[in-house]
Structures are given as structure tokens and as C-alpha cells.
Amino acid sequence: MPNDLDLAEQRILALLQEDSSRSNADIAAEIGLSEAPCWRRVQRLKKEGYIKRQVCLLDRAKIGLTAQVFAYVKLSAVGRSNLSEFEEAIRGFPEVLECFVLMGNFDFMLRIVTKDIEAYERFFFDKLSQVPGVQDVNSMVALSEIKATTRLPLELVCQGLVPSPLS
């Protein structure tokens, strides 16, 4: 963690990533600050990019997105010269939640959610396989979810300043 974050700011980040709907008053009380200085610190953390955005996490199964698929994509040699075209296409697919550039046998890994496997099949044939330069797609269906979190391990960079959820 950069040295420009003091203990109070590190604790603010830890609290907000657990529950971003907490009020400024709650956060201030938890870390032992008055509300105004706490609010100023949160604003600084936002302005400097430590806090990218605050969102509501939905239960994908409850809203009907029961299939989660990891697709490993290899581009053809010609496709590699047009990476930006592939990236733009992927950004336009709402089914793709995450896309990572890889080193190794595949060029990209996508995390895709759809209503069911049949919906993934339609997505695959109608959209993903139609992106120029796609040579190979290896899809793996997730059967169950063991761990899913958005919480970054601040304790690894703050050296014990943030309580571990396991303690």
C-alpha cells in the first residue's frame, strides 16, 4: 500500500469494501474520527482513484443468470494484429463480465454469464465465434461457486493494520 495512506484511510477502505452503503457517520464512529474529517478522507480516496466506484452486487442466480462459463479464446495470427477489434467486440457483449489477456496457450479468458447453457450456446454461435480473428474457444462451465469476493486483501499490503476476516 502506498505510504501516502494513513491508518485511518486504510481502515476506511477496508470498511467500504465490505459494505459501501455504510454511512459516513458509521465509518467515522468505527475508526474514531469525527464526521467531517472522515468525509474529507473518503473524498480524497475517490479523487485519487483508490475508490473506483461504489456498486450494489446482485445475486446472479436470483435474477435468472444461472450459467457461468469461462471461455479461453485463441486468436489467429491475423487476429492478433487486430487486438483492439477483438477487445471492442468483447466490451459490447453484456454477457461478458470479465476479460483478461493471458500468457500461454490462449490469448484471453472470459467470464460469461447467461440464463442457461442453451443461452450460452446461442451467445457462442451468434456472437463470440463471429468475432473476426477468433481461431479457437475452449469453454468450461462452472458447476458451483466455492468462493467469490470483491474484497481485496488489504491486510497483505497494510501488514496487520486491517483485521483479517478469519481472526
Domains, the chain:
7-56 (1.10.10.10), 67-141 (3.30.70.920)
- Which pLDDT value is given to residue 57? 94
Assign 157 to helix, strand or coil: helix
* Residue 65: Cβ within 10 Å count: 18
SS (H, E, C) 49-112: CCCCCCCCCCCCCCCCCCEEEEEEEEECHHHHCCHHHHHHHHHCCCCEEEEEECCCCCCEEEEE
pTM metric for this prediction: 0.83
End-to-end CA distance of the chain: 21
pLDDT along the chain (167 residues), means of 10: 78 95 96 96 96 94 97 87 90 98 95 98 98 96 95 78 44
Residue 156: CA count within 13 A, CB half-sphere:
3
Rg (CA), the chain: 20
CA–CA separation, 24 vs 36, rounded Å? 9
pLDDT score recorded for residue 159: 59
Query: What pLDDT, on the 0 to 100 scale, is given for residue 1?
Result: 45
In sequence order, what are the beta bridge partners of 137? 73
Given this model, what pLDDT does residue 3 score? 58
